[in-house]
Amino acid sequence: MNVTAFDFSQKQNRPGKIVALHLNYPSRIEQRGRNPKFPGYFLKATSSIAATGATIERPAGTELLAYEGEIALIIGKDARRVAPEDGWSYVSGITAANDWGLYDLRHADKGSNVKNKSGDNYTPLGPAVIDAKGIDPAQLRVRTWVNGDVVQDDTTDDLVFPFGQLIADLSQMMTLEEGDVILTGTPAGSSVAQPGDVVEVEVDAPQADGAPTTGRLVSNVKEADFALAAYGHGPKVDDVQREEAWGSKEAAGLQDPRAILTDALREKISQTAVATIVANMRKRGINNCTIDGPTPMHPGRQILGFAKTLRYVPNREDLFKKHGGGFNTQKQAMDSVQQDDIVVMEARGEKGTGTLGDVLAMRAKVRGANAIITDGGVRDAAAVVDVDIPVYSNGNHPAVLGRRHVPWEMNGTIACGGTTVQPNDIIIGDDDGVVVVPPELLVEVIDDSFEQEQQDEWVYEQVKNGAAVDGLFPPTGEWKAKYEAYRADKGN
């Protein structure tokens, strides 16, 4: 198998354009929590190309310089409106790439990635090119090392968008010219590099004859002497950018907001009625915190989890034609739930059609959702009950979604059952209904509600034994003293 050393950094060797793909590897897609229906791209400046051994500078005052080991395709002949099955035949070679990016400047680019991805030396390529002839594009491997430790290791056998599709898609509107380079996405493991780190990327075809390899593409990370000037966008980061740059909250040193539901807190919630929680929300001045209308299809079960929101808009035939079919937002929502999610749907209280059926209910259950709530209807009701994931709805209806709704948005702020629900709000439900608790209030609300439950149980026993409610419900005076003595004794 032919492998040739090549220095892309020489001006005469630079491609006419570099097209980079956002997401392609399932491992990265799962990490990001996004499910692209079609490929998405951005352009990188050819002046960002570097050879192996190049120095990658992190500007002073920035923190999130991230590496992305990738497979780069080199176009061997002009491609214009080619078919996906023919796309690979337009590739002449494969090399390694590192798609460096400065997350501190993502806010300035509004999705274009111009500044954060096109810094000098931010696209090292090489050091060698593998001849594409005789290579199976589904049997390539990309690996990345940081200071000698493997941090990325994945293959192309299950890419969401095969290489032939990328070439066909791009060539619909632009001619891919000989020498152009396509960066094909990075697998999970992309993270932040620090000054002094040495990052290496290698692409090989271990199952091909001779196991050809590009060799290791080396980048040396350095803290730059210059800072970003005041006449342009300065660095700006938040915890969302930190999580995406590092790859996870844990890697970024951020507290996982889901860690709030400790085993001890879950136990308290399991012994606390929604009615009591609502009363304690009211004490804090929050009255409109219940999802009104939907009732449980699986009575007798408490639900607890984090809101994953989904919004429908009223059906308009032209919009449903564009947004209702295929892998629409409703399906994307169910296909991207995480463990402990509760899917909450805004259907405007419209009961005249189904917003959920058994297939999507099963998908949510398999993905780890704890429950589904809709202020619309449910179709295939008996089958949904058999799926055995708790569901709250406004009733049953045989019509399909498109009769009244267009699936529109997920992971936004919605209105369900007359109250506002935001992603990651805490959802608690029982046979009385569903309450929405802001995460920042959860611990104090549950602590007070749990204590009130203990008191109410004690009061109930006193009434059951013949005591009058005056002065007892709630306890005051002598009754209060008796309850405090009971609690002290129970605590001992």
Burial category of 181 from C-beta neighbours within 10 Å (exposed 0-12, middle 13-18, buried 19 and up): buried
Cβ contacts of 483 within 8 Å, gap of 6 or more: 455, 458, 459, 475
Structural domain spans, the chain:
3-252, 287-437, 443-491
Distance, CA of 429 to CA of 296 (rounded, Å): 9
Which residues share a beta bridge with 248? none
Topology annotation, domain 287-437: Glucose Oxidase; domain 1 (3.50.30)
pLDDT at 31: 86
427-439 pLDDT, tens digit per residue, is 999 999 999 999 9
Average pLDDT of the segment spanning 119-123: 97
pLDDT at 487: 84
Q: How confident is the prediction for the chain on average, in pLDDT?
A: 95
Distance, CA of 239 to CA of 280 (rounded, Å): 31
Distance, CA of 237 to CA of 104 (rounded, Å): 5
Distance, CA of 200 to CA of 190 (rounded, Å): 12
468-489 pLDDT, tens digit per residue, is 999 989 899 999 999 888 888 8
- The Cβ of residue 487 has, within 10 Å, a number of other Cβ atoms equal to 14
Q: State yes or no: pLDDT of 492 exceeds 70.
A: no
Strands (E) in 141-267, as ranges, are 141-146, 149-155, 181-183, 198-204, 217-227
Please identify which residue in the block is written with the tokens 């569903």.
434
Average pLDDT of the segment spanning 300-329: 95
Distance, CA of 384 to CA of 475 (rounded, Å): 45
Q: State yes or no: pLDDT of 1 exceeds 70.
A: no
3-252, which class in CATH? alpha beta
pLDDT at 33: 78
Distance, CA of 43 to CA of 123 (rounded, Å): 11
Quote the tokens at residue 191.
């993270």
Contact 241, 231 (CB under 8 A): no
28-69 pLDDT, tens digit per residue, is 998 887 788 899 999 999 999 999 999 999 999 999 999 999
pLDDT at 442: 97
Percent of the chain scored above 70 by pLDDT? 99
Higher-pLDDT residue of 74 and 259 is 74
Distance, CA of 397 to CA of 374 (rounded, Å): 13
In the Cβ-directed half-sphere of 261, how many Cα atoms lie within 13 Å?
A: 18
> Which secondary-structure segment (H or E) carries 480?
helix 477-491
Distance, CA of 353 to CA of 401 (rounded, Å): 6
Q: For the whole model, what pTM was predicted?
A: 0.68
Backbone torsions φ then ψ of 101, nearest 5 degrees = -150, 145
Burial category of 85 from C-beta neighbours within 10 Å (exposed 0-12, middle 13-18, buried 19 and up): exposed
Distance, CA of 23 to CA of 36 (rounded, Å): 7
Q: DSSP 3-state assignment of 31?
A: helix
> Which secondary-structure segment (H or E) carries 72?
strand 69-75
pLDDT at 86: 97
Average pLDDT of the segment spanning 362-373: 97
Which residue from 303, 302, 301, 306 is spatially nearest to 260, judged by alpha carbons? Answer: 306
147-180 pLDDT, tens digit per residue, is 999 999 999 999 999 999 999 999 999 999 999 9
Q: State yes or no: pLDDT of 77 exceeds 90.
A: yes
Backbone torsions φ then ψ of 343, nearest 5 degrees = -75, 120
* Burial per residue of 395-418, b for 16 or more beta-carbon CB atoms within 10 angstroms, e otherwise: eebeeebbebbbbbbbbeebebbe
Contact 17, 78 (CB under 8 A): no
- Parallel, antiparallel, or unpaired: how do β-strands 41-44 and 18-21 relate? antiparallel
446-467 pLDDT, tens digit per residue, is 999 999 999 999 999 999 999 9
Please identify which residue in the block is written with the tokens 């020498």.
179
pLDDT at 117: 96
pLDDT at 28: 94
Question: Any idea what DSSP says for residue 213?
Answer: B
Which residues share a beta bridge with 55? 220
188-233 pLDDT, tens digit per residue, is 999 999 999 999 999 999 999 999 999 999 999 999 999 999 999 9
Domains 3-252 and 287-437 share a fold: no
Q: State yes or no: pLDDT of 300 exceeds 80.
A: yes
Which residues share a beta bridge with 65? 102
Q: DSSP 3-state assignment of 32?
A: helix
pLDDT band, residue 249 (cuts 50/70/90):
confident
